[in-house]
Amino acid sequence: MADSELVRYRIEYASQESGSVFFDGKITERDTSEEPRIFEYVDVRLSSNDTLSTAADEEEISKTENAKGHAYINILSPAVAEALRCVVDYFPDLDLSGNIIKIFEPYSVFVFFEKELTEYRDRVAKAAQDKSSTCPNRWAAKHIGIVQAFVKDWTQQAVDAERARHARGCATFDMLWLLYRPGSDVYYDMYNYGEHEPYVVSRVHFNLVNGAADSYNLGLWNIDADSSWVGPFETQTQVERFTGEKRIPCLRAFPCEYLRFSDDIAEEEVSAIRQYYVNRGKRWYGLRQKTQCRQFDGFTTTFPRRDYVSLAMVDPIQFALSQGKERRVLGPGVQHPSGPHKICTCETCQEVIYRHAAKPKFSDYIKVNPLIVESLTDHQYFLCDQMVEAFLFKIRSWQYLHVDGFREPTFDSGLFENLVLKNSTKEFIKNLTQMYIRDSSQPPLHGEKGFNKVTQVHNSPRRRKADATWSADFVEGKGEGLTILLHGRPGVECIADFTERPLLSLTCSDIGVKPENIEANLLSWFKAAENWGAIMLIDEADIYMEQRQVQDIERNHLVAGFLRALEYYKGILFLTTNRVGTFDEAFMSRIHIQIHYPEFEDEERDRLWNAFFQKLEDDRETTMRITQSAKDYVQSQELRALKWNGREIRNAFQVAVALAEAKNQRDKEGRVLVQPDHIRASVQMSTEFRDYLVKVHKGDLSKRASLMGTRYDAFGKGAPGTSKH
C-alpha cells in the first residue's frame, strides 16, 4: 500500500448547539492489505441545523455548515498505539486502552512525548531486520515517523514560536496548552489572593471553534487527606481568553520552573521556595501521623483569615466524628495510563520495546496510610496541603489552621505556684494529679506504625491492673476518674500547665441545657478529653448540680444525666461553682475532693499583684514600666478595702495597662509608664458599681449569698461553727 493510502481523511458534521454528531462520513470498505492504515484525520464541521435526517447526503448537509469544529485523529496502527502505551507515563485525558485511540487537535501527546517517541522509533528501527514478517511492531518506526511528520507540519511552527516566548517568560492564549504538560508541577493561586500553592497538572480541556478556544479548563491536584488516608485531591480552574502576550508568573497557575521570571523573586530564591514547601509538607504529614497536642500561633486557612494563639489538638478522626464530615473527600486517585498490550511476544520486542516501557507516574501517591507509612518522597512533601484541622482549646471549636502556625507545646509549670491557695492544698492537688497522669504522658495514637504492630493490635498486652489507677468501685469502669470541686467566691480558675496537659474548659453553652442531650454531649466531651489526655474543667457548673425537686421533672432529668455521665469519666475533672449551698446531695458522693477557695487576705492580694507586675515586666521589658508609686498604691487602704478576688485584680490591671498605652506617657528610655491613676480609674468604677449593688440588695454580695444559702464566704476565718487550719 502506498504511503498516501495509509492515512485516511473524512468529514464529520455536528450540531453547533448540542455537539451531537449527525453525519460522520465513515468509510465502510474492508481493509485487506497486509500493512494497516496508520491514522485517519477527521475534519469536524459545525452545523446550525441538527434536524437533518442522517440519510441526507453530504452536499445537502454542507450547505448548513457555519463553523469549523474541533478536529481529531484516530490512531489505527496497532504499532503506534503500542508505542504510546509504552512511552506515556501520565496523560489522564487520553484513553490508551482501546484498539483505536482518539487524539484531538493540537495532538499535544505527540508534542509532549516527542523525545520519548523518537527514541522508541530509533530503537525499533535498528532491530527491524530481526523482526519476523508477522510481528505487529515491525511497522512501528515507519508509522511513528509518518504521524510525527503530520503533527510537525500541523503544529511545529507555532510550537517553536511559543517556546521562544516561554524562554522570555511569556505566553499567548492560543498556545497556552503547551505550558501545561500533564504531570508537571505548577504553582496555583486558588483564591486569587497572590498565595500560590504547589499542584500537579492532570488535564487541559478546551474546545476549538474556527481554530480558537474561548477558555481553558485546567484539572489540578495536590496531596491532601481525609481522616484515614493521604492522597490526591482534585480541583479545577478556568483560564479566560486574553490578548497578546502575558507574563507566565502572572497566570493563576503556572509551571514551577517559571517562578524565576517573577518580578519579586530573585533567581537564587527559587530553590529555597521549593525547599520551603518540602519542609512544610514534612510538618503537615507529621501532624497526620498521630493525635497530638501542639501550640498554635498563626492564621486560619479559611476566609476571613483569623489569627489565634492557643493550645491545639490535632485529631483528624475526632474532627470527622464531631463535625459529621471529612475535611476533604478524596477522589479515586491518580488515573494511570493503560500499560502495553504486548501485541508481540517475540524476544526482540521484549528486549527492545517492553523492557524499556515507562512505569506509571505517581503510582505510589494513592491512599497512603500515615499511621503505617513513616515518610514520603520530597516530591510528595512538596505537594502536601497547608491546611490542618485542629481543636483550639482557647475558643473550644474546630478550625482549619495553617500548618506553619504549629509548634511544640510549651507549659509553664510555675504558674501553679502563683495560684493563691494554702500550700498544703496545692501539694495535695499536685500529688493526686501526678498519680492520675503517670501512665499516659501523651495522648494515645489512633494506630501504631509498622505492619507487624497493625496485625498484633488485639494481641498487645493490656495495662496491668497493678499499674492502673485503683478504683474502689466494684463495677468495672466506674469511678476511675478524679473529680475535684472548687468552690468559693467568683473568680476560681484552674491551671493545667503544671501537669503539662491541655485544659479543656467548658461552660453550659458547650454542653447544653436540654435534658435529653446532656448525657450524650457530656460523654462526647469526656471521650475527647480522655483521648487527648486533657484536664477538663466545667466552669460555673451550678445549673447541672442544683438540688432536684419532685415537681420539676425536667431539672431532675438534667441532673440525672449529668450524674450518669460523671460516673464513667476516667480523667481529671474540675468543677467550679460559687453556689455550693444549692447542690443536690447525690453529687457529694461523686466528688472525690472538695476545695474551698476562700476570700483573699491582703498578703495574698499583694502576692497576686506582684505576680501580674512580674508578668508585664517579663513580657514588655523594653516597652513598658510600672512606676514604684503604682506598686505602692496597690497596697493602699483605698484599694484593699475593695477586697478584690483574683479575677477582679486581673481585670483591673489589664484595664490599667490599656489606659497607660492610650495616654502614652514615657520615661527617658521610651517605655510606657503604668502609674497609680491608671489603676485608680478601675478602682473608682468598681467602687461605684459595688455601692450601687449594696443599695439594690441591701447588703454586699457575700452577705446576700449567705442569706440565700448559696455559699458562706466567712468559712475558715474563725466564724462561728468553723475552724481555721
Residues 488 and 606 in one domain: no
Q: Quote the domain boundaries for residue 290.
A: 173-323
pLDDT at 230: 95
Predicted local distance difference test score (pLDDT) of residue 18: 67
Q: Confirm whether 377 is domain-assigned.
A: no
Same-domain check for residues 516 and 662? no
Which grid coordinates are listed for 445?
495514637
pLDDT of residue 512: 86
Q: Which among 597, 629, 655 is the end of a domain?
A: 597
pLDDT for 413 equals 66
With respect to residue 235, please indicate whether it lies within any of the assigned structural domains: yes
- Does residue 404 fall inside a structural domain? no
Block means of pLDDT (10 residues each) for the chain, length 725 residues? 81 77 63 81 83 59 76 95 95 93 96 97 82 80 96 96 98 97 96 92 90 92 94 94 96 96 90 96 97 94 91 94 87 77 88 92 91 96 97 94 94 65 72 60 45 36 44 43 64 53 87 84 89 86 72 76 81 77 69 75 87 88 92 91 83 89 91 92 79 66 54 51 41
- Integer Cα distance of 479 and 570 in angstroms: 7
Single out the residue of 596, 645, 644 nearest to residue 422, CA to CA.
596
Examine the fold and report which residue of 323, 347, 366 is the final residue of a domain before the chain moves on: 323
- Overall domain count for the chain: 4
- Whole-number pLDDT of residue 684: 83
8 Å CB contact between 688 and 677: no
Q: Is 111 found in the same domain as 76?
A: yes
What CATH code is carried by the domain that includes residue 498?
A: 3.40.50.300
Contact 384, 463 (CB under 8 A): no
Q: Are residues 662 and 693 in the same domain?
A: yes
Whether residue 554 lies inside any domain: the answer is yes
Asked if residue 619 and residue 510 are part of one domain, the reply reads no
CA distance 409 to 416: 17
Domain-ending residue, one of 323, 344, 365: 323
- The answer to whether residues 539 and 634 belong to one domain is no
Q: What are phi and psi of 308, to 5 degrees?
A: -135, 145
298 in any annotated domain? yes
CA 338, CA 83: separation in Å to the nearest integer?
12
Query: Position 219: which residue type?
Result: G
Q: Pull the grid cell for residue 381.
A: 512533601
pLDDT value, residue 717: 54
- Residue 228 and residue 297: Cα distance in Å, rounded? 26
User: What 3-state DSSP class applies to 545?
Assistant: helix
Q: Are residues 527 and 612 in the same domain?
A: no
Same domain, 80 and 152: yes
- Give yes or no for a contact between 702 and 489, defined as CB atoms under 8 angstroms apart: yes
380 within some domain:
no
pLDDT of residue 641: 86
The β-bridge relationship of strands 170-172 and 185-188 is unpaired
Instruction: Please check whether residues 488 and 548 belong to one and the same domain.
Output: yes
CA distance 366 to 200: 14
Do residues 131 and 346 touch, judged by C-beta distance below 8 A?
A: yes
Phi-psi region of 390 (alpha: psi -120 to 50; beta: other; left: phi over 0): beta
In a domain, 470, yes or no: no
Same domain, 15 and 160: yes
Q: How many C-beta neighbours within 10 Å does residue 168 have?
A: 11
How high is the pLDDT of residue 361? 92
- Asked if 187 and 222 sit in the same domain, the reply is yes
With respect to residue 398, please indicate whether it lies within any of the assigned structural domains: no
300 and 188 in a single domain? The answer is yes
CA separation for the pair 278, 377 (Å, rounded): 9
CA 96 to chain centre: 35
